Homo-oligomer: A and B are copies of this chain.
Amino acid sequence: MPIGVGVIGAGVVGGGVIQTLLTHRHVIKTRSGVDLALAHVAELDPARLAELGLTGVTVSNDAARLIQDPNVQIVCELIGGLEPARTFILDALKAGKHVVTANKMLLAHHAPELCKAAIDNRAGLHYEASVAGGIPIIRSIREGLAADRIKAIFGILNGTCNYILSRMTEDGHEFEQALSQATALGFAETPPDLDIAGHDTAHKCQILTSLCFTTEVDYDALYVEGITKITHADVAYAHDMGYAIKLLAIIQDREDGIEARVHPTLVPHWHQLAAVRNEFNAVYVESDVADATLYYGRGAGRFPTASAVLADAIDAARGMGAAPAPPFVYAKRRPVLDIGAVVSRYYLRLTTLDKPGVLGKVCTILGNYGVSIASFIQQEVRGDKPVPVVLMTHETRECDLRKALVEIDQLDFIREPTHVIRVLQE
């Protein structure tokens, strides 16, 4: 008997899922032994439905009807956003349907509620597609590294940001120009705020943190900083110092809690993550038994995301009958550490008038807070304009650095707030 799949939302990802279900039914059946049949599509936009030209499939503009359709055993929620996606998923779980979702925003904010509903109703809730698109990272962490204690994750999880930073690095573009390119190529969503402000990456960071450390994680406890303040000068200085700038999700196990943060990061050129270019994603995992592993691929897009959605649907179909594994395990609650508690090396770009004693004053203030300098770059002076001075610090506790910067930015020869970028610590 075929297993009926219902798809809510026939947009970019939903359309890819529908198309692949139709073309790959035989491949799926041969490889996995599961016969998945598209049973029902719910979509509000009649034009999208017409484009798909479906025959022999129930089509409606009513997700509630799809959820209650007895021919649907697996519900794919692919509309994104908080509501009505949350209600649809809860209703489907209550109806005993297995749910597959790509909705990172919803999970980042409501995973415990959805998880409880899944367990209460003995229904599966699968979310491989919510993090890093076509890369099977959820499975790899949950099953491939099931015996490991996860120590750290460093992830490039947003293709738009990585594309923009690649263009700035390789083509010498400024941020705005690179963003326009990403938009023109369809990588950046309109408006691109979720991407470039770091929130899309942070949603995924929340999911991975919860999964790795078996704890509830308040999304608001994450430190989130986007890439909008990165200049081509930063990229160029970093390059000369041996680093690429990447927007990373950084998750680390610490004695007194968990680090979970998203921000631009200087990644040394020798690191595998530095070589991840353009719209690709990659997740670097450090665990205590398997050691370092890295997973690379397309983190977004119609078909890579559809691949993950369908892998989950196959998993749900395979496991039917048995009690599904809980989507998340919430064991001991562990706190997310404040960004001030982070210890890192820092790249500082000061904008200063070139006067005698500038560097001395800056270094004195840094020294007062225990921040020591590893290296610095100062361009040659031309006239009376403010010049950039770039400092690289030794390891420093962020709260100390911040106090120092408050004083430094008040100095009269400092003409702009000092730009801070953290350096990847391993």
Contact = CB atoms under 8 A, between A and B. Distances in A.
Contact of A275 (B272, B289, B301, B319): B272
A128 B306 CA distance: 25
A134 B298 contact: no
A128 B147 contact: no
A298 B285 CA distance: 12
Contacts of A314: 143, 146-147
B322 A304 contact: no
Interface stretch (A324-332, A356-364, A407-415): A324-332
Interface stretch (A28-36, A216-224, A240-248): A28-36
Contacts of A318: 325
A142 B32 CA distance: 8
Given A24-B289, A30-B331, A31-B214, A144 B136 contact: yes
Q: Is the interface of A mostly helix, strand, loop or mixed?
A: mixed
A422 to B, nearest CB: 24
B31 A134 contact: no
Given A290-B298, A290-B308, A308-B290, A139 B143 contact: yes
Interface residues of A, number: 56
Given A140-B139, A294-B297, A295-B294, A33 B311 contact: no
A88 interface: no
A304 to B, nearest CB: 5
A347 B238 CA distance: 37
A140 B295 CA distance: 10
A261 to B, nearest CB: 23
Contact of A145 (B136, B143, B293, B326): B136
A344 interface: no
> 4 nearest interchain CB pairs?
A136-B144, A147-B310, A134-B290, A293-B297
13 contacts: A24-B149, A27-B147, A28-B147, A31-B214, A32-B142, A143-B315, A148-B307, A290-B303, A291-B297, A293-B297, A293-B298, A295-B295, A295-B296
